[in-house]
Structure 1
Amino acid sequence: MLQSLVGYLDSVKARDPSARSRWEVLLYAGVWALAWHRIAHWFYTLEFYWLARLFSQIGRLLTGIEIHPGATIGKRFFIDHGMGVVIGETAEICDDVTMYHGVTLGGVDPASGIGGKRHPTIANGVIIGSGAQILGPITVGANARVGANAVVTREVMAAATVVGIPAKPVLMDAANFSREFLAYGTPCDERYDPQTQRLEIIRCEMEKLQARLNALESEHRDTPRRTGS
């Protein structure tokens, strides 16, 4: 257990450049929120739902992070800063996921009731930027990046980067795509803004049309005019 804890603290430290030691990481709200959730989830699996909710609410009170005791969370999950995070009952979070403050993994179909899948599934290695809202029983694929304040309501492919409202994929160059970790899941370059990319596509199409128009005008000038008989 101690070895597992040390490995977890080291994984957090690797993703947070401000952390100078494992002891400092032990003070993080996200670390304590996860610890309270492990207890709450244990009671939840035993169907002691009231106790599960009690420990969940204690964790929320102490950390500002609300994780439903029914949520399934894998290894080395890191919530950075953490305040305002909400994770719903049927959410599934796999290994090595990083999440920032203000994120919601929410459900959009209360009619599905108890036992119905209402919340997202987050695959291995995903990074979710601050303020992002991921809603419904969708899957965010492995190593995907969800930009800050994005609203995601559709499936996200593995290794994709999505930004905006509604969230849409952006094209990444090889240098950024190969980076192992991208803080906040957000490329800080206007080239990766979907609106900028749409404008660039329109500009290219206009250049093609202009070139075609110039060619037609040149062809028209070079064609000898017919004279009347």
Structure 2
Amino acid sequence: MRLALIDYLDSVKERDPAARSRWDVILYPGAWALLYHRAAHWLWAGRLFWLARLVNHWSRMVTGIDIHPGATIGRNFFIDHGFTVIGETALIGDNVTIYQNVTLGGTNPSTGIGGKRHPTLEDGVVIGSGAQVLGPITIGEGGRVGANAVVTKDVLPRTTVVGIPARPVPVDLVHYSPGFIPYGTPCGEDVDPLRARLTTLEEELAELRAELKSLRARGEALPESKAS
């Protein structure tokens, strides 16, 4: 138990440069929210639903984080800052990081598999602040969701998505920005999928203009060649 706690505190410290020691991490609302959730989930699994909800409501009051007791969460889960909502059928793997104001929201039960309404986050996923991940979708292992993105479709493993609706970034982030990316959001104009599309359209337009200019030049030269 003691080793598991130390491993957890160290894993958070590695992802948050503001944490100067394990004692800092112990004061984080995300750490307390996870502790309360472990208790609430144990009660929920034992079908003590009202007691589980009581722990859940107390946790939300003192941490500002609302994790449904039915949600399943793996090891070393880190919520940075808080004000996050996690739904009942959410499945969260190991070493997942979520920043503030994130929603793992549900959809109509009839659209899921076996009534699953909320997302699945596989190991090592990072969800940026303000992101909304909605429905029984899967964010693949090592996937990253940029700040304020709205995700309604599956994200492939080790893929970064940004925007509304979320789209994959057009560069290889393993080489662009290796290592852990805070907030799951790469910084730089060349990682904006809309800008990349705009650049492609501008290049195509320039080619069409050049072709049109060439056609006009040939058309103007045609009478002269006939006259000769």
Cα deviation for residue 218 of structure 1 reads 5.4
Q: Contact conserved, 2:177 with 2:186, CA < 8 A, in 1? A: no
TM-score under structure 2 length normalisation: 0.91
* Kept in 1: contact 2:109–2:116 (CA 8 A): no
Q: State the match for 1:6 in structure 2.
A: 6
1:208 deviates by 2.2
2: CA distance, partners of 1:86 / 1:63: 12
Residues 147-184 of structure 1: CA deviation (Å, up to 9, x unaligned)? 11111111111111111111111112455555221010
Q: State the SS of the aligned residue for 1:162.
A: strand
Show the 5 A alignment for 1:105-116. Answer: 105-110=104-109, 116=115
Q: Which sits farther off after the overlay, 164-173 or 215-224?
A: 215-224
**Quick one: distance in 2 between partners of 1:160 and 1:216?**
43
Provide the residue aligned with 1:149 in structure 2: 148
Aligned pairs (5 A) from 1:125-140: 125-140=124-139
- Structure 2 residues without counterparts, runs of 5 or longer: none
- State how far apart, in whole Å, the 1-side matches of 2:73 and 2:181 are: 21
Q: Which amino acid aligns with 1:55?
A: V
- Is the CA contact (8 Å cut-off) linking 2:99 and 2:183 kept in structure 1? yes
**Structure 2 Cα separation of the partners of residues 102 and 175 of structure 1:** 27
SS at match of 1:35: helix
- 1:220 deviates by 5.1
Q: Hey, what does 1:74 align to over in structure 2?
A: 74
Which residue number corresponds to residue 20 of structure 2?
A: 20
Given the alignment of the two structures, is residue 65 of structure 1 paired with residue 55 of structure 2, yes or no? no
CA shift for structure 1 position 131: 0.6
Structure 2 Cα separation of the partners of residues 73 and 178 of structure 1: 28
CA RMSD of aligned residues (A): 2.1
Describe the shift of the 1:164–1:112 C-alpha distance in structure 2 as closer, same or farther (beyond 3 A).
Answer: closer
> Cα 1:112–1:173, aligned 2, differ >3 Å: closer, same or farther?
closer
Q: What CA distance in whole angstroms lies between the structure 1 residues aligned with 2:127 and 2:173?
A: 21
Gaps of 5+ in 1: none
Percent identity reads 56
Whole-Å separation in 2 of the counterparts to 1:186 and 1:127? 9
Distance in 1 separating the partners of 2:141 and 2:226: 67
Q: Which residue of 1 aligns with 2:48?
A: 48
Work out the number of aligned pairs and report it. Answer: 226
Conservation of the 8 A alpha-carbon contact between 2:170 and 2:192: no
Q: What does the per-residue CA deviation read over 1:25-66, in whole Å, with 9 as the maximum and x for residues that have no partner?
A: 100000000000000001111111111111111111110000
Q: Which residue is equivalent to 2:30? A: 30
Instruction: Report the TM-score when normalising by structure 1.
Output: 0.91
SS across alignment from 2:206: helix
